[in-house]
Amino acid sequence: MTFDELNLRPEILRAISDLGYEKLMPVQEEVLPILLNEKTDIVALAQTGTGKTATFGIPLVNSLNFGTSFTEAIILSPTRELCMQIANDITSYAQHINNATIVPVYGGASITTQITNIKKGAKIIVATPGRMLDLMRRKVIDISKVQVVVLDEADEMLSMGFQEDLDAILAQTPEDKNIWLFSATMPADVEKIARSFMNEPITITVGTRNSGAENVKHYYYLIHAKDRYLALKRIADFYPNIYAIIFCRTKNETQDIADSLIRDGYNADALHGDLSQAQRDHVMNKFRNKNLQMLVATDVAARGLDVFNLSHVINYNLPDEPEQYIHRSGRTGRADKDGISIAIINLKEKYRIKQLEKITGKEFIKAKIPNGKEVCQKQLFNIVNKMQNVDMSNEEEIENFLPQIYSQFDWLSKEELIKRFVSVEFNRFLNYYHNAPDLNVDESKESSAEGSGSNKKRERQKSRRGDNDNSSANNGEFATISINMGRRSGTVPQRVIGVINETVKNRDIRIGHIDIYDTYTLVEVDAKHVVEIFNAFDNRDDNKYFVDLAEPQPAAERTKAPKRDGGRDRDGGRDRKSSRDRSRGSDFRGKSDRRGGKSSSQSKSRKR
Ligand code: AMP
């Protein structure tokens, strides 16, 4: 379909032709005719880079009345960079229309300047939710006449914690406005927004729902956790022309890995929220211009970066939320080019690959970390290739030096000469990879070694629990876990459920009885999700809560709110410390409970 067939204002057609757009992109084919011809709410599932800004920008510019100055449309987006990008794009669609005022506002920049800009008149405001709310509270922005609210990258906004701001903004919009929601994925909290605030939205999915880009191949490497960085270096060496984002989970990890890569001679830099805006801009520009090969980044910081044509996306650590993996991997494999998304995982994390396969609908191929010889071979051919394709435009200047160079080398044969030139670059690799160890985990050997590890131990305990389950009747599929939160810190059952909910994103996990003691709590949870729960707690950044398997509480004891003199630790002789605490040699539960803390018993057998 072409834009001429859409009945657009001639000024917009001119702008589109100036921009060089010829045909509609798939999301535009699906959504543009609807938004141009109907007043409706819409949920469009499409990823960034698919042409979605034009999908909502063109209908807005086409329908709004630029003869008046009050605000008729607001676009909410997760980051400052995206706000600026959207405002620029829409300004270009409206470039031939008089008085088309499109104003971006976002945090981290002077609010005074933004207030001045809005006061001059803002037909369309593009905002981050926090700044939007701030300006509404200052009565600078009046949204009482808004016709359309666009929620762009809704899943990102929610995962960045903007839920409350969005709720507050949407609550103040007029009843008869329309909401156009764009999101790459549809997690439960986005569905909730659609349910709570939208009126019978039309839902359009472009491409496969929740899936990654089509031409991305997904690989995972199984290594020991201690070898993660070595594995990363090997991957980087194996792909000499790599142009990648390496995703880490925390700012500290991001900085550490970038520092290590730089120290080890790689063309890498860090991007995270502890850098100033100027520093972030500098790094992003270097990366955009391909003066930087490897960008080590947190998810939040990378959102501001409009680079999608990566050769690789590397999950140095998998994201806590599987949906985030789709965002990460969607940055490669664009424009019909093949892309590679890599996850470096240890045995404990292997179950997460299954989870990702389910959510992306793609197979994850187990790949082998190349050995030293393979890396050297790859580097060698890269050097040879580089030599073959070297830019020879300075040939004439080099000519001047050649006689002297020839005479210096005249004692060497052609073969010797080639060997020496190649060695200049190659020796570094040969030296480094001489006797390099195999980093791959051999699963068949590891399964017995892992038997002493925490997961296997938990599995064993779990099956033991299943064998002689003496907990309440009919709860065969429950396992009992302990959490280091107790009555002394004011714990109530709702808070326990809240902590589990905020840590483990899977809302299908059922919770059974909750027994709160002075310094810890026993909770019955779906046995089949126990490992997932442990991993989610292990991955908490704040290290605040720890869980471990506990012996199920006998029903009779539970109802008596027992004095637990002697405690089950002594009776059962089980070690209930979490893996973290075990390694630190401390016991999170404190002592009083062992001597007989009281429990408050609650039955909460329900789906969260
Ligand atoms: P977006 O998903 O909005 O970030 O768009 C990705 C890129 O596609 C932007 O650079 C747009 O300018 C460009 N684009 C959007 N629509 C079209 C189109 N119909 N034809 C060619 N390029 C487009």
Q: Is the pLDDT of residue 566 over 50?
A: no
Q: For residue range 522-560, list pLDDT tens digits in order.
A: 888 888 888 888 888 888 877 788 887 776 555 443 433
Q: Is the pLDDT of residue 581 over 80?
A: no
Q: Is the distance from the beta carbon of residue 307 to the nearest atom of ligand 1 less than 6 Å? A: no
Confirm if 572 and 493 have CB atoms less than 8 A apart.
no
pLDDT of residue 437: 87
What is the number of the ligand 1 atom nearest to the C-alpha of 50? 2
Nearest protein Cα to ligand 1, atom 11: 51
In the numeric block, which tokens belong to residue 228?
């993660």
Q: Is the pLDDT of residue 482 over 80?
A: yes
More confident residue, 73 or 362: 73
Q: For residue range 386-440, list pLDDT tens digits in order.
A: 888 888 888 888 898 999 999 999 999 999 998 888 888 788 778 888 888 889 9
Q: Is the distance from the beta carbon of residue 564 to the nearest atom of ligand 1 less than 6 Å? A: no
Considering the chain, what is the average pLDDT of its residues? Answer: 81
Confirm if 483 and 536 have CB atoms less than 8 A apart.
no
Range ranked top by mean pLDDT from 185-194, 223-232, 425-434, 581-590: 223-232
pLDDT of residue 158: 87
More confident residue, 61 or 82: 61
Q: State the pairing for strand pair 547-549/478-483.
A: antiparallel
In percent, the amount of the chain with pLDDT more than 90 equals: 42
Q: Is the distance from the beta carbon of residue 327 to the nearest atom of ligand 1 less than 6 Å? A: no
Among 18, 19, 29, 180, say which to mutate for ligand 1: greatest number of ligand atoms within 8 Å of CB. 19
Taking residues 303-321, report their average pLDDT: 87
pLDDT of residue 237: 92
- Give me the residues paired with residue 296 across strands: 246, 270
Cα gap 403→380, rounded to integer Å: 28
More confident residue, 140 or 463: 140
Range ranked top by mean pLDDT from 82-96, 335-349, 378-392, 483-497: 82-96
Q: How far is the CA of 88 from the centre of ligand 1 (A)?
A: 12
Confirm if 149 and 99 have CB atoms less than 8 A apart.
no
CA-based end-to-end distance of the chain: 46
More confident residue, 373 or 61: 61
More confident residue, 352 or 518: 352
Cα gap 425→439, rounded to integer Å: 24
**What's the distance, CA 163 to chain centroid?**
17
What is the number of the ligand 1 atom nearest to the C-alpha of 23? 19
Confirm if 471 and 556 have CB atoms less than 8 A apart.
no
Confirm if 272 and 316 have CB atoms less than 8 A apart.
no
Nearest protein Cα to ligand 1, atom 9: 51
pLDDT of residue 476: 58
Least confident of 349-363, 474-488, 514-528, 547-561: 547-561
The single-letter DSSP state of residue 115 is H
Taking residues 187-195, report their average pLDDT: 87
Among 8, 24, 25, say which to mutate for ligand 1: greatest number of ligand atoms within 8 Å of CB. 25
Cα gap 530→512, rounded to integer Å: 13
Q: Is the pTM of this model over 0.75?
A: no
More confident residue, 337 or 16: 16
Nearest protein Cα to ligand 1, atom 8: 51
Q: Is the distance from the beta carbon of residue 309 to the nearest atom of ligand 1 less than 6 Å? A: no
Sign of CA dihedral 171, 173, 177, 183: negative
pLDDT of residue 147: 97
pLDDT of residue 111: 94
Q: For residue range 211-232, list pLDDT tens digits in order.
A: 456 788 999 999 998 899 999 9
> What SS3 state is found at 139?
coil
Q: How far is the CA of 24 from the centre of ligand 1 (A)?
A: 9
Cα gap 451→536, rounded to integer Å: 21
Q: For residue range 18-38, list pLDDT tens digits in order.
A: 999 988 988 899 999 999 999
Q: Is the distance from the beta carbon of residue 80 to the nearest atom of ligand 1 less than 6 Å? A: no
More confident residue, 90 or 388: 90
Q: How far is the CA of 312 from the centre of ligand 1 (A)?
A: 22
Q: Is the distance from the beta carbon of residue 50 to the nearest atom of ligand 1 less than 6 Å? A: yes
In percent, the amount of the chain with pLDDT more than 70 equals: 83
CATH number for region 3-205: 3.40.50.300
More confident residue, 422 or 73: 73
Q: Is the pLDDT of residue 602 over 50?
A: no
Tallying the residues shown for the chain, one arrives at: 608
pLDDT of residue 173: 95
Q: How far is the CA of 22 from the centre of ligand 1 (A)?
A: 11
Q: For residue range 468-479, list pLDDT tens digits in order.
A: 333 333 345 788
Confirm if 322 and 188 have CB atoms less than 8 A apart.
no
Nearest to 301 by CA among 264, 250, 256: 250
pLDDT of residue 179: 97
pLDDT of residue 568: 27
Cα gap 329→320, rounded to integer Å: 14
pLDDT of residue 553: 53
Q: CA dist 156 to 85, 96, 161, 168, 249, Å?
A: 16, 32, 9, 17, 16
Confidence bin at 574 (pLDDT 50/70/90) = very low
pLDDT of residue 558: 43
More confident residue, 592 or 235: 235
Q: For residue range 128-166, list pLDDT tens digits in order.
A: 999 999 999 999 999 999 999 999 999 888 877 889 999
Q: Is the distance from the beta carbon of residue 21 to the nearest atom of ligand 1 less than 6 Å? A: yes
Q: State the pairing for strand pair 510-516/600-607.
A: antiparallel
Confirm if 48 and 25 have CB atoms less than 8 A apart.
no
Q: Which fold has domain 216-369?
A: Rossmann fold (3.40.50)
pLDDT of residue 389: 81
Among 2, 3, 21, say which to mutate for ligand 1: greatest number of ligand atoms within 8 Å of CB. 21
> What SS3 state is found at 57?
helix
Least confident of 55-64, 108-117, 127-136, 207-216: 207-216
What is the number of the ligand 1 atom nearest to the C-alpha of 22? 20
Q: State the pairing for strand pair 148-151/178-183.
A: parallel
Q: Is the pLDDT of residue 494 over 70?
A: yes
Q: Is the pLDDT of residue 502 over 50?
A: yes
Nearest protein Cα to ligand 1, atom 5: 51
Nearest protein Cα to ligand 1, atom 22: 21
Q: How far is the CA of 89 from the centre of ligand 1 (A)?
A: 9
What is the number of the ligand 1 atom nearest to the C-alpha of 25? 19
In the numeric block, which tokens belong to residue 474?
């009919």
Taking residues 557-583, report their average pLDDT: 29
Among 47, 53, 91, 150, say which to mutate for ligand 1: greatest number of ligand atoms within 8 Å of CB. 53
Q: How far is the CA of 113 from the centre of ligand 1 (A)?
A: 29
Amino acid residing at 316: Y
